[in-house]
């Protein structure tokens, strides 16, 4: 897209950007609602510890207005989600963080396993192409001459066998053995990503609300208590 550094995968844009959905939109069979601009919940500005606010009256005024707006948004968010009780808010913050971290951990585990399968398939393919050459090397009468003529293939086969041994594989696996696992993991990853942004947004909102509540409660303390 113009003014973007990287590519955008259509699947990350949602169901309205699948091939069939785009064709339906072109033909007039599908109406796509424009996304509404979301009112982001931001952290309050800690005026007590803001050097910029202390040195700039203009910034301090802006920061007070901004923080009042964010405080109102925070209160509305807490009321809408039934989190006005501090213990419930703490539990929700921990739960949201745990949910997102668990999702991220599983995605990373899948990515790691997919990378392992790709490496395995690479070595399996290489072994299949070079095993006959390697067997010829083992039975060759003039091993030095045979090696010099087929060095790349022999070393490639050795590397593949060494990799299989490092995994404790008693026999050379086949690519077919990993096709179903790869497909299953890819499907699971796609399903996890469908909820990735929602879980992350939920976590960010709850954690932001929790931090804002802490700042608001801190601001209500008497000055002598804040200095202790």
Of 123, 131, 129, residue with least CA distance to 175 = 123
Q: What is the pLDDT of residues 200-225, one digit of tens each?
A: 999 999 999 999 999 888 765 544 44
Q: Is the dihedral of CA 87, 93, 96, 97 positive or negative?
A: negative
CA 41, CA 45: separation in Å to the nearest integer? 13
Would you kindly state where each structural domain of the chain is located, as residue ranges? 1-36, 85-194
pLDDT tens column, 53-62:
888 889 989 9
pLDDT category of residue 21 using cuts at 50, 70 and 90? confident
Confidence (pLDDT) at 47: 81
**What tokens appear for 94 in the block?**
């921990």
| Residue 31 confidence class, pLDDT cut points 50, 70, 90 | low
Output the pLDDT for position 6.
Answer: 72
Name 92's Cβ contacts closer than 8 Å, sequence gap at least 6: 81, 83, 206
Interval 94-144: pLDDT, tens? 999 999 999 999 999 999 999 999 999 999 999 999 999 999 999 999 999
Give per-residue pLDDT as tens, 180-206: 999 999 999 999 988 888 999 999 999
Give the global pTM. 0.65
What is the pLDDT, as a whole number, of residue 46? 85
Query: Could you tell me the two tokens for 211?
Result: 């931090």
Q: What is the 3-state secondary structure (H, E, C) of 45-86?
A: CCHHHCHHHHHCHHHHHHHHHHHHHHHHHHHHHHHHCCCCCH
DSSP letter at 17?
A: G
């Amino acid at each position: 897209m113009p003014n973007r550094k990287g590519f955008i995968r259509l699947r990350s844009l949602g169901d309205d950007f699948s091939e069939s959905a785009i064709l339906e939109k072109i033909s007039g069979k599908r109406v796509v609602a424009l996304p509404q601009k979301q009112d982001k919940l931001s952290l309050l500005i800690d005026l007590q510890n803001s050097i910029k606010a202390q040195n700039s009256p203009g910034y301090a005024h802006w920061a007070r207005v901004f923080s009042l707006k964010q405080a109102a948004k925070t209160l509305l968010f807490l009321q809408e989600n039934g989190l006005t009780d501090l213990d419930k808010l703490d539990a929700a913050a921990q739960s949201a963080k745990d949910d997102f971290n668990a999702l991220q951990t599983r995605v990373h585990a899948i990515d790691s396993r997919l990378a392992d399968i790709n490496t395995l398939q690479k070595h399996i393919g290489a072994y299949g192409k070079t095993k006959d050459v390697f067997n010829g090397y083992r039975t060759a009468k003039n091993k030095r001459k045979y090696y010099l003529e087929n060095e790349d293939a022999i070393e490639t086969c050795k590397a593949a066998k060494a990799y299989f041994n490092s995994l404790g594989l008693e026999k050379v696996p086949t690519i077919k053995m990993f096709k179903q696992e790869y497909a299953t993991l890819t499907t699971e990853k796609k399903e996890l990503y469908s909820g990735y942004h929602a879980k992350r947004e939920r976590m960010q909102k709850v954690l932001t609300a929790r931090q804002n509540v802490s700042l608001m409660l801190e601001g209500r303390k008497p000055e002598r208590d804040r200095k202790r």
